[in-house]
Structure 1
Amino acid sequence: MWIDTHCHLDFIYENKTKDESLFDNSLLDFVICPSANHKSFNILKKLNQKNNSIVYALGYHPLYLSDLPENPIQYLENEIQNSHPIAVGEIGLDFYLGNEEKEIQKIIFHQQLELANKYNLPVILHVRSAIDDVLKILKDFPDIKGIAHAFNGSLQQAQQFINMGFKLGFGGAMTYSRAKKINRLALELPIDSIVLETDAPDMKPAWVNATSQNHPNEIRGIAEFFAQLRNISVIDLSWQLKNNIADIFPDLGISS
C-alpha cells in the first residue's frame, strides 16, 4: 500500500494544467490533499468525486491568511459539517520571512485547532521556522493527533511531537546530498513516527529535473530512498507506513 500523505493537486489543477494523467494514481492507494485556502475547497471536493483515492483536508495555510472568506472560522466549520474532510489542514505557523503577522497566524491556528478538537479530526501542520510556537499552542489540545508536514526541526522537538501523538512527514528534501540534518532525522527517529509525502508540485526529489512536474507517484522513489537509508526492505517499509497512517487517519478505513 502506498499513500502520499501531503500533495497539492489543487495547485496543479488551479494552474490550468488539467492533464488527466496528473490524477492517475495507479501506483497509489490514497493521495491526501490539504487545502491552502477556501478557494481550494471546491477544487478538492471535485477531485475527490472524480477519483475517490484523492482525499482531502480543509483549512487555512498560514501564508494565505490575507485572502480569508468572511467569517472564516464559521465558513470552515460549515464545510467540515457538510463535506466531512479527512483532517483539518494545512494549518499552522510560518515565520520564515520574519515579517509575518505572527499574532494573526497564532489566532487563526488556535481557532482551527478548536474546530479539529470539536469534530475529532486529525490535523496536518505547517511548521516552518515556528516549531516551538506550534508545540506551545498544541499543549492546549492534548487529544489532537496529526502530521507535522516537512519536518526539519531538532531531535528534541521531534520527540515532543511524537509524545503528543503526531507523525513527522519526510519527502523529497531528504533525497539531496546536502540534506544532512534531514537525513539524520529520517535515520534516527523511530520508524513508527514517520510518514512519507511528496508535497507535489513543490519539494521535488533529487531525480526530478527542473523542467518536470513533481507528482504523487514519486512517493515510491522517496520510499525506496528512505528504505535504503534505514536498511530495510521496501515491502516492510510499506507495511510500517500503512500502520503509521492508519493511526492518524482512521477514517481512511485501512487496518493497522
Structure 2
Amino acid sequence: MHLIDSHAHIYVPEFDSERKALIEKATAQGVEQILMPAIDATTHQLMLQVEEDYPSCKAMMGLHPCSVNAEYKTELAIIKDWLERRSFIAIGEIGLDFYWDKTFTQQQYDCFHQQIEWALQYQLPIVIHSRDAVDEAIAVVKQYPTLRGVFHCFSGTIAQAEQIMALNFMLGIGGVVTFKNAGLDKVVQHIGLDALILETDAPYLAPVPYRGKRNQVDYLPLVADKIASVTGKTIEEVAKITTQNTINLFNL
C-alpha cells in the first residue's frame, strides 16, 4: 500500500524531538511522501531544512491566512523572493480564515489573489485553507478558470463538494472524516474517490481513536481505512486512487 500525506506540518517544533522516528514510522505504514504547506516567514527555514534532511518531504511556499496582518506585504515579498530562487510543488497553504478574526479580511483577500497570480505564473497548484470561508473561497477560485488545486481539510457539505469538483479542484480529506458527528463520511460516500486526496494536517485534527491528541503522519492509514469503509472500497483501492490523484495534482 502506497500513501501520500498531502498536507502535514511535520517541520513545526512539536515534532523536533522525534521527527526522524515518526517519518520512519510513517514510511513503515506505507506513507511514502509528505507534502509540507508553508505558514509564514517564521517557519520557512524550518520547513526547508526538513525537506533537505528528509527526501520524502516536499515543500510548498505561501502565506497562511491566519498569519495575514498589517505587515502582509513584507511576508508576500519574502514569498516572491523564494519563488524566484527555487522550485516548489505548490503555493500553499493560502486562502481565507474567518473563524478566529475578521480584522484583516480585505488583506486576506489581497494575499489570496496575489498568491493565485503567482500560482498561475509558475504553473503550480494551490492548497486552500478555508475555515468558515468555503463559499467565499469557491467564489474566488471561480474567477480563475485555469487554476487547479485542493481545498485542504474539507469538511463542508455535499453541495460545496460538488461545486469544488466542478471547478476541477480536489478535496483534501483528513481526520475529520473519522469524527462521529461531523457528517463528512456521508459527503465522501456521496462523491466517491475521483476528487479525493488524503492528508493528516499533523499536528492538528488527529483521527479517532487519537482525537484531541497530537496528530502524526503515521495516522494517515486510519483516514484511508475510514474512507474505504464508507465508500465500499478496499483500503488498497483507496490508497491507489488517492495517491494517483495526489501525484497528478502536484506533478510528483
TM-score for both structures, normalised by structure 1: 0.90
SS at 2:43's partner residue? helix
Question: Kindly tell me: are residues 16 and 216 of structure 1, through their superposed partners in 2, closer, same or farther at Cα, counting changes over 3 Å?
Answer: closer
Alpha-carbon deviations, 1:14-62, whole Å to 9, x = none? 3473323133242311101101112221111111111111011111111
Q: How does 1:192-207 map to 2 (within 5 A)?
A: 192-207=194-209
> Residue 149 of structure 2: which of 141, 146, 169 is its match?
146
Alignment match, 2:23: 23
Higher relative contact order (CA 8 A, sep 6+): 2
What amino acid is the match of 2:203? P
Query: 2:15 and 2:9 mapped to 1: Cα distance?
Result: 13
> Residue 165 of structure 1: which of 156, 163, 168 is its match?
168
Query: 2:98 and 2:72 mapped to 1: Cα distance?
Result: 22
Consecutive unaligned residues in structure 1, runs of 5 or more? none
Question: Kindly tell me: are residues 107 and 67 of structure 1, through their superposed partners in 2, closer, same or farther at Cα, counting changes over 3 Å?
Answer: closer
Query: 2:63 and 2:214 mapped to 1: Cα distance?
Result: 25
CA contact (8 A) 1:3 1:29 kept: yes
Q: Which runs of 4+ in 1 moved over 4 A?
A: 67-70
Query: 2:229 and 2:221 mapped to 1: Cα distance?
Result: 12
> Residue 123 of structure 2: which of 115, 120, 133 is its match?
120
Q: CA RMSD, aligned part only?
A: 1.8
Q: How does 1:1-256 map to 2 (within 5 A)?
A: 1-11=2-12, 14-15=13-14, 17-19=16-18, 20-24=20-24, 25-26=26-27, 27-66=30-69, 68=71, 71-97=74-100, 99-179=102-182, 181-208=183-210, 210=212, 213-250=214-251, 252=252
CA contact (8 A) 1:37 1:68 kept: no
Question: Kindly tell me: are residues 209 and 191 of structure 1, through their superposed partners in 2, closer, same or farther at Cα, counting changes over 3 Å?
Answer: closer
Query: 2:4 and 2:40 mapped to 1: Cα distance?
Result: 23
SS at 1:91's partner residue? strand
Question: Kindly tell me: are residues 161 and 23 of structure 1, through their superposed partners in 2, closer, same or farther at Cα, counting changes over 3 Å?
Answer: same
SS at 1:168's partner residue? strand
TM-score for both structures, normalised by structure 2: 0.91
What amino acid is the match of 1:190? G
Consecutive unaligned residues in structure 2, runs of 5 or more? none
